[in-house]
Structure 1
Amino acid sequence: MNRRIAGFALAAAVFAVDQASKIWAIGLLDTPDAPRFDLTPFLALTMSWNRGVAYTMLHSDGDFGRYALAGLAAAASVFLGFLLWRAKTNAAAAAFGCLIGGALGNAQDRLTHGAVADFLYFHTPFWAGPLANYVFNFADAAIFAGAVLLIYESFTSQAPAAS
């Protein structure tokens, strides 16, 4: 299969799975008395609405901020689509597909709900740091996977020989 088609298909699949998982999570967890469901000692299901970006940075309750963040995600997705189109390897195409699908999934939440639906609660006994308490969703996981793939690709790809 052509890597371009595969990359855009992966973006569509990430978007679809993300939206389906959020519909399920909102139905299960978005009530005032919804319990936290512990899946493992470090992962639970709980509802959290994120009006910002990672770790609620750029927090915005107003329509301007919400539309600005959604617009930024859409613009980034167009740029990433251009990079996907030019990708030279399957790993790069997959990385861009994950990034596009994740960005569009979270942008859709902003447009539909005014905030991003996070429901996977990763927690450790550490009292500080990024892994102490982190609530995320499938789109966030895909964005992380895409970034890791791009880093991997940067270390494993051969640089073109100088002529």
Structure 2
Amino acid sequence: MSPLLRSGLIAAVAALVLDQASKLWLLRVYELGPRGTVQVTPFFDLVLAWNTGISYGWFQDAGPVGQAALLAFKAAAILMLGIWMAKSGTRLATIGLGLIIGGAIGNAIDRLAYGAVVDFALFHIQIGEKTYNWYVFNLADVAIVAGVAALLYDSFVTPDAAKRPR
């Protein structure tokens, strides 16, 4: 196994383990559900949300057939990203793809285990009487966003010759 592929696999496993460990701890040990909203800072709360849709809660009312279709799409995407990762020519792109794969697998595990993705992190800001909330998310989502950012950065700063597949 090449060192580049190894770094991508390590990123995928790390993202998956951190995501699943955080969710299991919050659900089973900390018991976030019965606690309701837990204020951590004036701008960050822990709150349990079950996302049956995809990004930002889209397609939440898709039903069992829609859930199966989402899982099939996710499996195909993970396979394609894995092929891309195996052929990647830069460490940053390989790690970014690993983060995306690990995050996608983490959310897929939730969907299989619970029928929904476990989201728990909520950033918000209060301006006057109005509170503005960001979307509720989890560590898998963070890994996916970081992976996409790594791919974008790599696409702009790495010379074309270094990006050629191995």
**Normalised TM-score (structure 1):** 0.88
Match in the other structure for 2:10: 9
In structure 2, the residue corresponding to 1:48 is in which secondary structure? strand
Match in the other structure for 1:29: 32
Q: How many Å apart are 1:159 and its aligned residue?
A: 2.1
Q: How many Å apart are 1:71 and its aligned residue?
A: 1.7
Cα deviation code 1:84-122 (max 9, x no counterpart): 001111100110000000011111111110000000111
Gaps of 5+ in 2: none
Gaps of 5+ in 1: none
Match in the other structure for 1:152: 153
Contact kept? 2:36, 2:48, Cα under 8 Å: no
Kindly tell me: are residues 50 and 38 of structure 1, through their superposed partners in 2, closer, same or farther at Cα, counting changes over 3 Å? same
Q: How many Å apart are 1:61 and its aligned residue?
A: 5.5
Q: What does residue range 1-163 of structure 1 map to in structure 2 within 5 Å?
A: 2-27=3-28, 28-31=31-34, 34-60=35-61, 62-125=63-126, 132-160=133-161
Q: Which one has the bigger helix percentage?
A: 2
Between 1:151-160 and 1:134-143, the stretch displaced more is 151-160
Contact kept? 1:103, 1:143, Cα under 8 Å: yes
Alignment: residue pair count: 157
For 2:87 and 2:62, locate their aligned partners in 1 and report how far apart those are by CA, in whole Å. Answer: 37
Q: How many Å apart are 1:18 and its aligned residue?
A: 0.8
In structure 1, the residue corresponding to 2:53 is in which secondary structure? coil
CA RMSD of aligned residues (A): 2.0
Cα deviation code 1:24-78 (max 9, x no counterpart): 12222123xx232212222111100001012211113622122221221111111
**Normalised TM-score (structure 2):** 0.87
